Structure 1
Amino acid sequence: MKDIYGLLGRNIGYSFSKGYFTEKFEKESLNCEYNNFDLIDISELKEIIENPSVKGLNVTIPYKEEVVSYLDKLDPIAKEIGAVNVIKFEKNQKLTGYNSDYYGFTESLTPLLNPKIKKALILGTGGASKAIAFALDRLDISHTFVSRNPDFNELSYKDLDEDIIKSYKLIVNCTPLGTHPNVDDCPDIPYEHITENHVLYDLIYNPAQTSFMKKGLQQGAKASNGLQMLILQAEKSWEIWNK
């Protein structure tokens, strides 16, 4: 019987993880399969947990925070971040939550940084943005969240002016705006104030070059999509499941 791994999420037909791990299992001749578990509601997780063939899960939008209450334990980093994207099934069937997003982001961002980058804007406030904030703290880059409905200490998109854009030289898109098939969408920021000293990082990987990235590149900025982050966090997931 094959060991089953999979991805928890909603509307995840597009899943990078399924393609990545299916190819990995074939290439390495592993007796495993990787499935998408597309859940309408997080309560459906119980049925998956009870399947003895399931050995590990990834978690994506919108369940990275909701899933925490179903776990027996959190790794200290996942606890600090407050979001989980890897679930390990321990030998005693207890479930431990981990976060490998912060690792994938840190490792893929570091080569793009320049000494002028001291502050970052994080566009969006979902589960992924928490891992990004944690990674930036570790890199000693201060950050501010931008939200359509800002809380205390957050900015709204309307607040973003020339002064703010010029002082925040790293801008990370954690929203789904621009994801295929809505490839013309992008966060509503004043791109005209972006310079060659800026880095625009988009967590989206499909399309490979989003509107957000294109608008940054037109201003001379560096830009990256989220593919390398996904590859790195996937390999870290495999490491966690097998340690």
Structure 2
Amino acid sequence: MKTYGLIGYPLSHSFSKKYFTEKFLNEGIADHQYELFPIEDVKSLPDLLIENPSLCGLNVTIPHKVNVLCYLNEIEEAAEKIGAVNCISIKSLDGENYLKGYNTDAYGFEVSLTPLLTDQNIKALVFGDGGAAKAVKYVLEKLNIEYQVVVRKAINGAILYSEVTPEILVSHKLLINTTPLGMSPNVDTFPEIDYSQIGKEHLAYDLVYNPLETVFLAKAAQHGAAIKNGLEMLYKQAEKAWEIWNK
């Protein structure tokens, strides 16, 4: 039996388990299973590997995308530049586990974003600065899109929501939410910006996929913006993870 799984905390709902369980069933992939491993402290990872010797790969979600790095034997170049990992391959090397980290968020985001970009989307506002934002910033840099990070608490290199002026909103026509704002069950929350400054040249992208249309996307759409949720990104990064685990 080959086991794959997701580590994070809490794991109230999981796209990954549903996706891979259905994939194994629909494609007749026998002796494969996908499990949830809700570990609050990443220090539990070595014990998890010992207790589950059939583990061949892991997805990584909040809050472990950054703090898992010190437990890896190797990190792919993109994940190293991003500074966050959301996919781990587990191989056996000389009888020991060999863990290599990847970032498939960047791949999923780039593949789902690129077809939507227009000549107007040359500057972006990135809401949030967590592990997911790191992948987003990596892709924006790769695509030569200028960006400004917006956060709730002051940090270097970012501005506060209260500092997002109408001029900034007008000039930054790509808006990306990397925070959990709007995610079920807190569906009434959203990045607090002046949505009246958004127009048909804007593209609003929300990494949240549950619900499919967040308040952020609904408000942007009301003012004519193109919108995109995080569901395709999730499918693309899952497909990439499967490719990595089967190298």
Separation of aligned partners in 2, 1:240 and 1:177? 30
State yes or no: 1:91 paired with 2:92. Answer: yes
Counterparts in 2 of 1:149-188, with a 5 A limit? Answer: 149-188=153-192
Over 4 Å off, 4+ runs: none
Counterpart position of 1:137:
141
Aligned length: 242
Aligned residue number for residue 231 of structure 1: 235
Aligned to 1:206, which of 205, 210, 215?
A: 210
Q: Distance in 1 between matches of 2:201 and 2:84?
A: 31
CA contact (8 A) 1:48 1:54 kept: no
Look up the equivalent residue of 2:48 and give its one-letter code. I
User: Distance in 2 between the 1:150 and 1:115 partners?
Assistant: 31
Structure 1 segment 10-49 matched on structure 2, within 5 A = 10-30=9-29, 31-49=31-49
C-alpha deviation, 1:152, in angstroms: 2.2
For the residues of structure 2 that align with 1:152 and 1:66, how far apart are their CA atoms?
20
> Is 1:222 equivalent to 2:226 in the alignment?
yes
Query: 2: CA distance between counterparts of 1:120 and 1:150?
Result: 19
Which whole-Å deviations, capped at 9, do the CAs of 1:185-231 have from their partners, x for residues lacking one?
Answer: 11111111111000110000000110000000000001111000000
Q: Distance in 1 between matches of 2:225 and 2:43?
A: 43
Distance (whole Å) between structure 1 residues aligned to residue 219 and residue 116 of structure 2: 17
- What is aligned with 2:3? 4
- The sequence identity of aligned pairs, in percent, is 47
What are structure 2's unaligned runs of at least 5 residues?
none
Query: Structure 2 counterpart of 1:33, which letter?
Result: Q
- C-alpha distance in 1 between matches for 2:128 and 2:136: 11
How many angstroms does 1:47 deviate by?
1.7
| Distance in 2 of aligned mates of 1:144 and 1:222 | 20
Structure 1 length-normalised TM: 0.98
Q: TM-score scaled to structure 2, two decimals? A: 0.96
- Tell me by how many angstroms 1:36 deviates: 1.0
1:70 is aligned to: 71
Paired amino acid for 2:245: W
Task: Please state how far the C-alpha of 1:137 moved relative to its aligned partner.
Answer: 0.8
1:178 is paired with a residue whose SS is coil
Taking the aligned partners of 2:40 and 2:9, their CA distance within structure 1 comes to 6
Letter of the structure 1 residue corresponding to residue 99 of structure 2:
L
Preserved contact between residue 13 and residue 36 of structure 1 (Cα < 8 Å)? no
Q: Give the letter for the 1:47 counterpart.
A: D
State the partner residue of 1:128: 132
Coordinate RMSD, CA, aligned? 0.9
Kindly state the Cα deviation for residue 104 of structure 1 after the two structures are TM-superposed.
0.2
Provide the secondary structure at the position in 1 that maps to 2:147.
Answer: strand
In structure 2, how many angstroms separate the alpha carbons of the residues matched to 1:47 and 1:241? 21
Letter in 1 for 2:215: S
Q: Do 1:77 and 1:99's aligned partners in 2 also have CA atoms closer than 8 Å?
A: yes
